[in-house]
Homo-oligomer: A and B are copies of this chain.
Amino acid sequence: MTLWQGRLPDTVPAVRLFCDSFELDRRLYAADIRGSIAYARALGRAGVLTRGEVDAIVRALERIAVEFRSGAFVAAPGDEDVHTAVERRLGELVGSELAGKLHTGRSRNDQVATDLRLWLLSEIPAIRDGLLSLGEALVAVAEEHLGLIMPGYTHLRRAQPILFSHWLMSHFWRFSRDLARLEGFTVRAAVMPLGSGALAGNPFGVDREALAAELGFEGAAENSLDAVSDRDFVAEFLFIASLTGVHLSGLAEDLVLFSSPEFGFLELDERFCTGSSLMPHKANPDPLELARGRAGTLIGALCGFLSVLKGLPTGYNRDLQEDKGALFTAVDSLALMLPLFAGIVRTVRVRPERMAAALDEEMLATELADYLVEKGVPFREAHRAVGGLVRRARELGVSLGELPQEAYREAHPAFDDGVHGVRDFARAVARRRSRGGTAPERVRGQIELAKRTLRERRGDG
């Protein structure tokens, strides 16, 4: 029996197969029941239901929630989605007459939109916690190893020496921005559609401000027609998830590279690696690779859903049902990946000797140019002179330090004996002490700021 059996014949099986969504959306049961309980109370306050009716409905809905939670809930053939399933079960428990009153003035359109927001808002604390945990892991490792120098890269080529902690903190700030986006989003998303009916609003005098407050929303949507079809919150969450996924993919890429035998700066804890079915020696960073791939899937989910929304005419259209698959993928992925990365970061083994071995002298070329600048040579001229020195050393197959002093003088007359003092990695790091630079005191400052921020956010949670 469908909701509209008075008007329409039964749909053909192919329609049900394609359109039904109970297996997908059953996880919304708690949100659906919470919304229905609040709506029953609102109908009670509006005089549509008696106090006794409200109590009976609420008790039955709470029982249904228990049935879902415990796995005891049994789906019926006609349960096309979780909302129908709950409504059907409610009819069994309180009689179809009373159950039939709960839908007074409410439409699937405002109900579904409300449920999905409630569900998402209930998932956000875990994602926020995941971001905080990953941030804490990065900061903890950065603090532990403060002072350790590694090669800094641009274009995946050794560029300048930096602190290992500076690298870790470069990832921290990315996730910190994700957190800020998530927090701004959470406020924007907490707008209640319930009480919008199918499109035109509620004619039974339901007090939507009170309803919103009871459900923990910041407020009620201002326009019923907009409210039932507004999926901005899905699109925006998908974006935040995609960008967080992109940031995880970047961290994954670095960890895969730096823990390869060729780089060797890090070793992943083997409990986060998997082996090969064929090659007995392998220890592969599968979770990192899968996360890198998942970032692609999240981008696809975002882009696909924006494409779903594009060009839709006014009012609710069933195209919007595609929101759930995309949103569930995004929430589940973040919920799994963030704690996993926190674990990987916390257990990584650092290999300072490999970092030191990778600090080749060419990475001090900028120091040589800066040396000339301090002697009054324009930077571009200094750059050119040192570029020539590097080329010469390469041609001779020697390091910059092995070039004779006369090679320096030929490269630029301003090179004097003092030049050898600049070939010092610690000095190069320490010189970059403007805000944001890799000098140890600056990196310590970053860490302190990060810890303060994390503490405050933990306090707010």
Contacts and interface: CB of A to CB of B under 8 A. Distances in A.
Interface stretch (A4-12, A27-35, A58-66): A4-12
A302 interface: yes
Contacts of A438: 200-201, 224-225
A167 B314 contact: yes
A304 B310 contact: no
**Interface of A, helix, strand, loop or mixed by DSSP:** helix
Interface residues of A, number: 198
A435 B209 contact: yes
Interface in A357-373: 358, 360, 362-363, 365-366, 368-370, 373
A391 B6 contact: yes
A227 interface: yes
Interface string A153-186: 1111111111000110111111001001100100
A405 to B, nearest CB: 18
A432 B202 contact: yes
Contact of A326 (B109, B297, B449): B297
A301 B279 CA distance: 32
A126 interface: no
Interface stretch (A70-78, A115-123, A253-261): A253-261
Contacts of A307: 295-296, 299-300, 303, 306-307, 310
A401 interface: no
A421 interface: no
B11 A169 contact: no
State the 10 A-B residue pairs at the shortest beta-carbon distance, nearest first.
A300-B304, A201-B437, A4-B275, A6-B387, A100-B380, A293-B319, A7-B387, A201-B432, A100-B378, A296-B308
